[in-house]
A and B are shown apart, each in its own frame.
Chain A
Amino acid sequence: MKYILMMTANKSEWESFAKWSKEDLAANVAFMRNFTKQLKEEGVFVATEGLGWPQQAKIVRAGANGLPATDGVFPESKEFLAGYWIIDVESPDQAYKIAARVSAAPGLGGKPGSMPIEVRPVLSGFSDMGL
């Protein structure tokens, strides 16, 4: 069963990342690279991506003529996806254990960040929704 592990942060949390020391940032990046490598070695890795900063986000909808209408204003409370992993594991508990590992990625001062990770099954097709 495929699960997605999502890391999210609101705008002010994103801004605080930008103020981390170079060492703290480097430790976090090294952890993330190693984490992905470990998932591959464990045979559970499917995909991972890191997303651009919230300032680069646009919200798009189709206008009446089908042309894109874009807007860059988001509510203050909005959580922006920072990145995700997709893993293929046997049970939700295994997915939660893997999420806890990435939750403990080093943060400010090298201390485990304990950031929340949202875990949800991924659909393999519309049939999974009963459609």
Chain B
Amino acid sequence: MKYILMMNTMKQGQEQQGILSWPKHDLDAHIAHMIKLNQDLAASGEFVSAEGLTFPDQATRVRAGNDGTPITDGVFPESKEFLAGYWIVDVPTPERAYAIAARASAAPGPGGKPLNMWIEVRPIMSGPPK
């Protein structure tokens, strides 16, 4: 069963932007944690894919106008959560997905302390809803 593990961030919380002001060794430890997690998932055969997204300031909202041409807007509600990145894993149980999410959650932050950030975990559909 495939699960997606989503790391979300608030625009106002500046959590994601804040990463740019971390001391270099804290940043290096964070990146090393994430790289090691991906390597371990690849080695255990549970890795499907992972992507990191650019900062919320690069997000655009698009919808089709009457003639089908794109209407773009860059204004989002203050309460909006932005996806920072995700992993897709293929695991036998939800508990295994939660355990992997906890590892990502514990990625080191400033001073090397675990961030313990929230990770949203949801099954992936293998086809459209019945």
- Residues of A whose CB lies within 8 Å of any CB of B are 4-6, 25, 29, 32-33, 47, 49-54, 56-63, 66-70, 75, 77-81, 86, 92, 96-97, 99-101, 103-104, 112, 114-123, 125-126, 128-131
Contacts and interface: CB of A to CB of B under 8 A. Distances in A.
B59 A119 contact: yes
Contacts of A54: 122
Contact of B118 (A4, A51, A60): A60
B79 interface: yes
Contact of A122 (B27, B54, B63): B54
Interface of B: 4-6, 19-20, 27, 31, 49, 51-56, 58-65, 68-72, 77, 79-81, 83, 85, 88, 94-95, 98-99, 101-103, 105-106, 114, 116-125, 128-129
Contacts of A126: 31, 52
Contacts of A4: 51, 53, 83
B31 A131 contact: yes
Given A50-B125, A61-B116, A117 B62 contact: yes
B62 A70 contact: no
In the A-B complex, list the 3 residue pairs whose CB atoms are closest, starting with the nearest: A100-B70, A68-B102, A62-B106
Contact of A131 (B27, B59, B122): B27
Given A4-B51, A131-B27, A104 B68 contact: yes
